Amino acid sequence: MTKTSWVEICVSDLEQSITWFEHVLGFRVVARDADEYVELSRGETSIQLATDSAPYWAPERERLLPPGQRGSGVEIVLLVENIDTVYHQAQQARADIARELADYPWHMRQFWVRHPDGYLIRPAQKILSVNPATYRRQVAEAFQRDTPRITQELLAVKKTADSLAQQGDFLGAATIYETLVTEIFEQSHLYDDEEERYDDYYEEEGYYPEEEGLDKLVGECIEALGNCLADKRADRVAREKIIEVLFEIYQHDLHTYSSLGLDFYSSASDKLVRYTTPLERRTIAEWIRDVLTDEEEEIPASRRQAYGKFLLDLEKDTLDDEAYLRICRETGRTSDLVDRLLTLGRIDEAARETQRVDDLAFLGLVNLFIQHGQDA
């Protein structure tokens, strides 16, 4: 299931509702089917309206509440980019504002407005204490200038994030850490192939002394994100952001992994396993399964094995033996598979698995048999 991309509501007066959404919330009509159906949009958000008399709603017509009473107990939340502008527009339209614009927990600034049929609409904007564009520009400029030590300039940006984290603004801190890491990945030469950079000597165009220390800085940002995630003061919105950033770092490093052995993906996955709740780990596991089952992307064996290890670590407290074995088989983690089969006493099955690997991998599996007291 993907995120909701539109909402459809049944209205008693189509023209009245069209006017309301246009004048109160700034939507515009993008499609219409006679006098029974209309679609309106604002940015990436779509609202579909259908009249009581539309055939589509015929099976539900007897259950519809009278106009003005619909939507009881249900709110339609619309995320917007400029909540103050939307609120001013609703005021100018003399809409029925149920709750005034204000800042609420979980970094949300929002208000409630009632549709003529009773639907409660909640325009909302996520509020950040920092502007990502400011720090993105600052990091980009450090790379564009002839700076002898880029890392030194970027440390000042990281210190700002560190200070926010100490003050308990984990969402702001995570936003800056994300900007730092993302821009370093995009602007630097961290992922240049080792053979191109070093070979007992270096060519001028293949060596970037001004970028020395960037790998360490990225590692420190990952560590800081882990500390934020481990802090009990971090609220749900901040935790969601931190988890998303760490998972993005994991994927980026795993997908662009080179012979340099930066190993950012290992550090990021460690934080996501160690400092998350069971529910959060379940969500991350679902993300991984979505990647593994994406038919449009062919996943190399090494990457599939890495995802498999991450999945096993995330679900180690909930997996039964058969589920564990299934993940091992699906992700090519033969060593883990054979080890568990030997632990379960399924010797013949473990032996069959060894027949499917190359000679080098076979030697490692032989050691597993010896460790379990079995003949190699």
| H or E, element range at 335 | helix 334-343
Predicted pLDDT of residue 66: 83
**1, amino acid identity:** M
Q: How far is CA 125 from CA 42, 101, 102, 134, 231, in A?
A: 14, 11, 11, 19, 25
Phi then psi dihedrals of residue 100, to 5 deg: -70, 160
Count of other CB atoms within 10 angstroms of residue 173: 30
Structural domains in the chain? 6-126 (3.10.180.10)
State residue 256's pLDDT score. Answer: 85
Strand partners, 114: 96, 120
How many C-beta neighbours within 10 Å does residue 51 have? 19
Q: What is the DSSP letter of 198?
A: -
Q: How far apart are CA 364 and CA 186, in angstroms?
A: 38
* Residues in Cβ contact with 9 at an 8 Å cutoff, skipping those fewer than 6 apart: 47, 48, 49, 50, 70, 71, 76, 115, 117, 119
Helix (H) or strand (E) holding 126: strand 120-126
| Reported pTM | 0.80
pLDDT in tens, the chain (376 residues): 455 567 889 999 999 999 999 999 999 999 998 888 999 999 888 999 999 888 878 888 888 888 878 877 789 999 998 999 999 999 999 999 999 999 998 889 999 999 999 999 999 998 888 999 999 999 999 988 877 789 999 999 999 999 999 999 999 999 999 999 999 999 988 887 544 444 444 444 456 777 889 999 999 999 999 999 999 999 999 999 999 999 999 999 998 865 456 789 999 999 999 999 999 999 999 999 999 998 788 899 999 999 999 999 999 999 999 999 999 999 999 999 999 999 999 999 999 988 888 877 888 888 888 888 887 5
Find residue 79's DSSP bridge partners. 124
Residue 223 contacts residue 267 (beta carbons within 8 Å): yes
Yes or no: say if 150 and 143 are a contact pair by the CB < 8 Å rule: yes
pLDDT of residue 177: 98
Residues 132 and 164: their CA atoms lie apart, in Å, by 14
